[in-house]
Structure formats: structure tokens, C-alpha cells
Structure 1
Amino acid sequence: MRPSAARTRGGGVVTVPLWSAVRATAAHVDKLVAALPEPGARLPGERAEIAEAKDAARTMRMRFLEAQADAVYDRLTDGRTKGLRIAELVEAAATEFPGLVPTAGQLAADRGRRQADKEGYEIDQGIFLRAVLASPRAGAHLLDTMLRPTARALRLLPEFLRTGVLETASVRVERRDGAAYLTMCRDDCLNAEDNQQVDDMETAVDLVLLDPQVNVGVLRGGTMTHPRHRGRRVFSAGINLKSLHAGDISLVDFLLRREIGYIHKLVRGIRTDDAPWHSPTVEKPWVAAVETFAIGGGTQLLFAFDHVLCASDAYLSLPAAQEGIVPGAGNFRFGRATGPRIARQVILQGRRIRATEPDARLLIDEVVEPEEMDEAVARAVGRLRGPAVVPNRRMLNLAEEPLDEFRRYMSEFALQQALRLYGEDVISKVGRFVEEARPTCPVPS
């Protein structure tokens, strides 16, 4: 960026003094990184030196963005006339504002390391995205942009409209009689979530919402080959701890994209130029069928569904405190469904809720015997086909989850989750989980 104040198309001004301080502290960090050994080989004194330098740089980024987030966002999006998804936004920021967020090269270098051996550049992305989402103007525009269908979904749409079938690495979709059945099929690791699964799920959700032949979506876990649950359907084991240990869980492409990408679309629908004049989005009701267990992110998902079925021998859990991370928007939605006491018991203390417990009815709609799940799914789909379902679910979601409250939560989540990714306790815990789980993945908490 030129060393002078610059007015953006949206009218904001990026000022020089704060920006100069950001550039100077970022350059100092880069100089130290180049001079020091790889992160995993640093001595205690070297680790303290680089930590102090990073803290100084992050302090300046925070100050700069608290004052300039709208101006920065306007420059990157041409005054909010251009929609950039979060991955595109951080990439554009790295080019336009060197030192504000990590470069592609820095991220690539970290991507080749275990989580314990990374520099932690994603924390700087978290600082940036926190500021963007905190802004009512920039944050609302970003959330709206994330409701657009992905390029991958648009590319696959003609074939899906013709066949009604999608096969990806982790999700299978089949359209039958006006309903779309999504099956999570990572049978080797109990539907544990990783970057690929998030991409596949958003693609699948987009196609369901874009298909005019579909009026209800259903999500269910597939039949497992994992030794511990071979031959049984499993909904989800949550985050893939093996991938997290290996450094393959991304803040932008997994942890944030998941929440403000496909789960946000489950709640709000998809924004498309073909939407009806009376609504900016196309929405559809969704059914979830939980068998065996829904752990972590699996339980988080359920809050976005209009009808949740649970097998009588299944359980739900959200072991965020044990894993050391923030459970997505679970903290935002859980207490709204159950009240604060149960939310704290589950999130902070690791309580499991069995489907047959009275408290489970605050999280699920029906408990059915495992052999009766197919019939229960069919009944639920039938009940959600009515023409008044979509407008009423829209009004319920507006009342239960105001968009500005969601935006503010996701703003703080962007930074807190970035920090948790690099917490020493998280790195230690996932290392133990992986050692205990070998050669399979993951360990159900």
C-alpha cells in the first residue's frame, strides 16, 4: 500500500501512522522468523523472543483494525460492490495490505507442519476477521456474501438437476420424491469433520437449496466400517482430531467456513438471483436423524434443523472443554434451546445426554427405536412439506437468532477459536488422543 492516506470507494480513509506501525512490527516478526530455527526446534529463550514480537504485532493489528476495519473492507470489496468469501477476503487482504494478514507463502509453510510446530499465522487471520465481522456494515456484507452458492456447487448443478445424485468423498446426496437425502459417509473415521467434509457439505447443501425439485432436506450418518461401530449408522464424531494434530484443520476453510457457510445456509437459506421477489434467499426445511451418537460438531449441527430424530440408544455430547476448543456456534445456540444450566453442564463439564433422558427433549423432537428410523424420517418429511412451513421457519429463525447477534458472536469466535487452535493444552490433548486412537481415527469423547 502506498505510504499515504488513501480514500476507499466507500468513503473510509486508511490512515498512515497506525498502518506504518503495523508494517514495522510485522516486518520485525518476519525478520525474527527468518533468523530463528523452525518453530519446533526453538529454545525457550527464542520462543519467548518471537512470542513477544508477535504479541506486539498483534496489538498493532488490533488497534489498526478497530479504527479502520470498514475502510479496509471497502477497499477490498470496492465499496461493498464485490462479494468475497472469507478465503478470498483474507487472500485479497494479504496482497493489498502486506503485514496485516499472512501471505499465501507463510500459510503454505505452516500447512506443512504439525499443529504443534506451526508459527500460528492463523491468529492474525482471526484478528482481521474479528474486526470485519464486528462491523455492522462490513460484517453484514460478508455474511450475506457467504450465503451465495459456491463455484463448485454451480459447476455441479446441471448434472445434479439431471440425475438427482451427488457423490463426494464425504457426503452422498440422493433426491427421491421431492426430498433430498444427504448421507455423511466418512465410514473410516465415524464421520469426523475436516476441511474436505466442510467443502463437501456446503456443496451438498447448496445443491439441495438450488434444486427446485426438492422441498425438504434430510441429513443422516452412513453405515460405518470403523472397527468400533462396524455395520452401524453413526451421525458424527465431531472434529477430526487426527487432522487437527497433523495441522490440517484450517481456521478459514473449516472452523469459520463451516459456521458462516453451510450451517448458516441451513438456517437462512441460499442467496441467489433466482430467489422470489419477496425473499432474498431460498429456504427449505431440514430433518436430522441421529444414530449411535452426535459428538461435538455433530451436536452443534442439530440446532440448525427443523426436526431432529434420535435413536433410543444414541447420545449427544459437546466436549469442548475437554478438547480445548470453542464449539462453533454451539455456545450461541445451546443455551437458547436448553437454558444456561444444561448448556454449561454439557459444554464446560462434558455431560453426555442420552436420547431417553428427559433433558434430551430440549435438543431433539422424537426418540425412535433404531429399526424404526426409516419410517420416522418419512413421517417427518411428510409433515414439513406444507406451503406454510418455510415462511414460518423464517419467522422463527428471525426471532430465535437475530442476524446481528449471530454476527457479533461470530466476530469474537473468529479470534477466540484462532487462539484456541494454538493453545498448548489443545496441542497436548490432541496429541494424546491421536496416540490412543492409532491406527484409527478419531476417539469419541
Structure 2
Amino acid sequence: MTVEATPRAPLDRMALAESARRVDDLLADLPVPPARDVAQRAAAATALDGIRAARAAYVDARAEEIYDELTDGRTRYLRIDELVRAAARAHPGLVPTDEQMAVERARRQGEKEGREIDQGIFLRGVLRSPKAGPHLLDAMLRPTTRALALLPEFTESGVVRMAAVRLERRDGVAHLTLCRDDCLNAEDAQQVDDMETAVDLVLLDPATRVALLRGGEMSHPRYQGRRVFCAGINLKKLSSGDIPLVDFLLRRELGYLHKIVRGVLAGGSWHSPLIDKPWVAAVDTFAIGGGAQLLLVFDHVLAASDAYLSLPAATEGIVPGAANYRLTRFTGSRVARQVILGGRRIRADEPDARLVVDEVVPPEGMDAAIDSAVTRLDGDAVLANRRMLNLTEEPPDEFRRYMAEFALQQALRIYGADVIGKVGRFAAGSA
């Protein structure tokens, strides 16, 4: 069975559904991707390329119309996971159904059809839209249901313990401790969920004035008893197919990281609908990948003199979140390219580290330096000034345009043959 490439002119809703059905029928008749022969791989690639071109044309032509339909004229706020599910129901063939995604989730990364690429096509079109895109960003800045449920407990006790993050308020300072001690705080969907919950709680809690993020002590044999900030994306989880595009890669950027920059959209007041607070990060041992990305959204960053930073995403084959958007303004173009394209590791005690890190202190001096940093940020004029700095350095429309392209490019990368090969070898070697 063969499927002709779909023309690039926008199809109507019924024609798109029919074209997608024919491609799905073809794929259903084939073995899983790793078991396909050369001819079968070519047939699948041609069919997928055609239907994806049709999907891109469809959403590019109708993004605002589709978004308004799904959100009742932008009166409802749907998070990205809710939005893609609503689109699947309303526009058959545009994005994968819940049933198709359930099949994908049950497979290892190298065995999937790559249906998340279709989610990336759709979300790129929505985020590109000058009306739908800002509304979707606002939807992602609203507090999560989980955080709202935990808020009374946190405001009363000042303590919430989750699988990946411990949150404790002391004297107006919220201490967020990354506590996945078995995997060096490597990032996965659980960590993203816990971090967004914690960030929401910090921002919503009226007794919190400043927030601090630090890695906890590790039980990992190589770093037993030492604090570690973050080892980046969990490559074992990526190889096993457990690093989703929507619920990890996009939620992370549009959710808690963006909330650290902008604040949480939770009523606020007449002078600002957003509630934001100053943030401090303290790096012990290393900040790799997503850990280094985190530092780019904090107001003050400390690092122990024996720590290092790196962004190995390009050598791993993926895009390092919004680091490509943010790092250049910290380091300049040349250093940013060395770090992102060349995998350069920057030691905290070398001069270039001071482009990203505000203070480098001896390991034994970290606690005192942290206390001093949070005190300095607990000032009356800090909030207004950080808000104006962030607005200047990261205008919402520029961030939105970057994230639109990121939604698709990252989806393509996580299904690249080079990525699947590299993370498969890593998982096998560390088993």
C-alpha cells in the first residue's frame, strides 16, 4: 500500500482527516519503526512528510480560528496538554488522539512513530499567532490545580515535601531543595511537575518574599553526601520514551521557568496581574544541561569554586531549551556558541564563569554567601526593578516567537536517529 504525498495547499477539515486516516492505515500495516526494511522506511517517511506538510499548512492558515474555537473565543484558559487533546477531538487528523499517544507512551523512544512531531507542528502554529500565542502563554502562567490544592497546607505549615523537590519557608525565604538523590537531580516529568508546583506555591504564598533553589545531598555512590545542583535531562528516561514533548520539554519552558521570569497569573492587583518574587540559585558541584539553563532565569546565582557548568544538548543532539535565546545576552555570541555547539564546560573559577555566575565562593562559604544574597534581594525596590529588567531583556513577544519554533525543532530532534542512537548507548552503558 502506498500513500501519495499530500499537497501543501491547506486542506479543509474533512480532507485533512481523510488524508491522516490513510497515513495511519499505512503505518498500522507496517512493523514498528526499528523492524522496517528500507522500502518500508521510505514509504513511511514519504507518507509522514506529506501529511505533516498538510498539517502545517492547515494550522498556519487557521491557527487563530482553531484556537478561538477550542477556547470559546479566548474566554477559557487551556494548558498545552489540554489544548492538544481538545484539538484532537475537534480536528481529527491534526494532532494524535489520546489512544495514539497511549500507544506511543508504551514504546521506547526508538520504537515510536514520532507523533509528538505533529503536536509540535500544531503548537508552533498557535504560538506564532499574535492573538492565540499570548493567550496560551497566559494560560501556562496560571497556577496549577495541584498547587492550589497544596497552598493551604503550605501557608499554614511552611513545608511541602514532594518526590523531586522539598519546599520549606524560613523567615520569609522559600528554600527549594532538589532532592532526587539517586539520579543527581536529573530532570524528568516528575521533576517538572514538582518544580512547577513548588514555584506556584512560592509565588502565591503571602509570607514568602524571596526564593532560593539549591541541590540536596546525594546518595549516588560517586557523590555520596555531596550537594549536587542538577545533572540535566534524564537520558535513561529519554531512551525509554519517558521524556514527553508536551508534559516535559514544553511544560518546563512555558510553565515553571517562565513563571520564575514573569510571575504567576493569579489575580494580582490593578497595577499587575502577575505575582512575582526574586530568585536565588546556588550551585554545588555542577549544573549540567537543564541545570545550567535554570541559572539564566535567576536574579542572583552563586557557585562553589569547585563547581562547573555545561550545556551538552547539541552534542547529545537536542536543543537546550531556551538557552539558545538567553545565553548570548549573558556571555556574548562566541562563548554561547562554544558552550552550546561545542559542548564547552565552564569551571566556576575561570573568568568566563562570571558572565553567568554572580558570586564564586569556596565550598565552605556557600551557606554564608547564600544568606547574604537573599538578604540583599529582600528589598522594597527589587520587585519593580527585576520586572523592568526582565521586560527589557526578554520581551514576551520575542520569547513567544522563540518558543513557537522550539516546539517543532525540539520535537524533530528527540526523534532524530542520532539522538535515539546516543541515548540508547548511554542507557545501555549505565544499566
Matches within 5 A, 1:26-175: 26-175=20-169
- Assess if the C-alpha contact under 8 Å between 1:285 and 1:390 holds in 2: yes
- SS of the residue corresponding to residue 110 of structure 2 reads helix
1:219 corresponds to which of 213, 218, 221: 213
Aligned: 1:316 with 2:309 = yes
Q: 1:252-293: CA deviations, max 9, x gaps?
A: 0000000000000000000112x1220110000000000000
Q: What amino acid is the match of 1:411? A: A
Cα-to-partner distance string for 1:373-396 (whole Å, 9 max, x where unaligned): 111111001001101000000000
Contact between 2:11 and 2:58, CA under 8 Å: does it hold in 1?
Answer: no
Q: Which amino acid aligns with 2:281?
A: A
Note the alpha carbon deviations across 1:300-347, whole angstroms, 9 max, x for none: 000110000000000000011111000000000000111100000000
> Which position in structure 2 is the counterpart of 1:425?
418
Report the counterpart of residue 240 of structure 2 in structure 1.
Answer: 246
**8 Å contact 1:25–1:56 — kept in the other structure?**
no
Q: Which runs of 5+ in 1 are unaligned?
A: 1-14, 439-445
Structure 2 SS opposite 1:204: helix
2:263 aligned partner:
269
2:216–2:228: 8 Å Cα contact kept in structure 1?
yes
The answer to whether the 8 Å contact 2:10/2:57 transfers is no
- Looking at structure 2, the residues matched to 289 and 258 of structure 1 have their Cα atoms a distance apart, in angstroms, of 20
Show the counterpart of 1:345. Answer: 338
CA deviation profile, 1:69-119 (whole Å, cap 9, x unmatched): 000000000010000000000010011111100000000001011000001
Q: 1:206 aligns with which of 177, 197, 200?
A: 200
RMSD (Å), alpha carbons:
1.1
CA contact (8 A) 2:10 2:54 kept: no
Aligned AA for 2:135? Answer: H
Q: Distance between the aligned counterparts of 2:116 and 2:417, measured in 1?
A: 15
Find the aligned partners of 2:174 and 2:10 in 1 and give their Cα distance.
53
Greater CA deviation, 376-385 or 20-29?
A: 20-29
8 Å contact kept, 2:276–2:383: yes
Distance 1:230 1:16, change over 3 A: closer
Matched to 2:103, the amino acid is: A
Aligned partners of 2:104 and 2:176: how far apart in 1?
A: 33
The match for 1:333 is 326
Deviation per CA, 1:175-223, whole angstroms, max 9, x where unpaired? 0000000000010010000001000000000000000000000000010
SS at 2:176 equivalent: strand
Contact kept? 1:190, 1:234, Cα under 8 Å: yes
* SS class of match (1:349): coil
Counterpart contact for 1:25–1:53, Cα < 8 Å: no
1:298-313 matched pairs, under 5 angstroms: 298-313=291-306
Query: Shift of residue 136 of structure 1?
Result: 1.1
The counterpart of 1:393, out of the listed 361, 375, 386, is: 386
- Measure, in 2, the Cα distance between the counterparts of 1:315 and 1:379: 22
Q: Which runs of 4+ in 1 moved over 6 A?
A: none
Residue 386 of structure 2 is aligned to residue 403 of structure 1: no
Q: 2:84 and 2:151 mapped to 1: Cα distance?
A: 27
**What amino acid maps onto 1:57 in structure 2?**
I
Cα distance, 1:18 vs. partner?
Answer: 3.4
Q: Distance in 2 between matches of 1:37 and 1:432?
A: 23
How far, CA to CA, are the matches of 2:228 and 2:24 in structure 1? 45
Q: CA deviation at 1:17?
A: 4.2
1-structure distance, mates of 2:36, 2:336: 40
Normalised to the residue count of structure 2, the TM-score between the two structures is 0.97
- 8 Å CA contact retained: 1:18, 1:60: no
Post-superposition offset of 1:25? 2.1
The answer to whether the aligner puts 1:361 opposite 2:348 as a matched pair is: no
| Code of the aligned partner of 1:264 | H
Please state if 1:279 is matched with 2:255: no
CA deviation string 1:347-385 (max 9, x = no partner):
000000000111111001000111111111110010011
Q: Does the 8 Å contact 1:21/1:60 carry over to 2?
A: no
Per the TM alignment, residue 435 of structure 1 is displaced from its structure 2 partner at its CA by 1.9
Query: What one-letter code is carried by the residue in structure 1 that aligns with 2:73?
Result: G
Q: Does structure 2 retain, via aligned residues, the 8 Å contact 1:313–1:354? A: yes
Q: Which amino acid aligns with 1:331?
A: N
Whether the 8 Å contact between 1:183 and 1:219 is mirrored in structure 2 is yes
In structure 2, what is the Cα distance between the partners aligned to 1:360 and 1:109? 44
Instruction: Provide the TM-score with structure 1 as the length reference.
Output: 0.94
**Contact 2:306-2:363 at 8 Å conserved across structures:** yes
3-state SS, counterpart of residue 120 of structure 2: helix
In 1, are the aligned partners of 2:199 and 2:259 still within 8 Å (CA)?
yes
Whether 1:293 aligns to 2:251 is no
Verify: 1:193 aligned to 2:187, yes or no. Answer: yes
For these two proteins, the number of residue pairs brought into alignment is 423
The alignment partner of 2:134 has SS state of helix
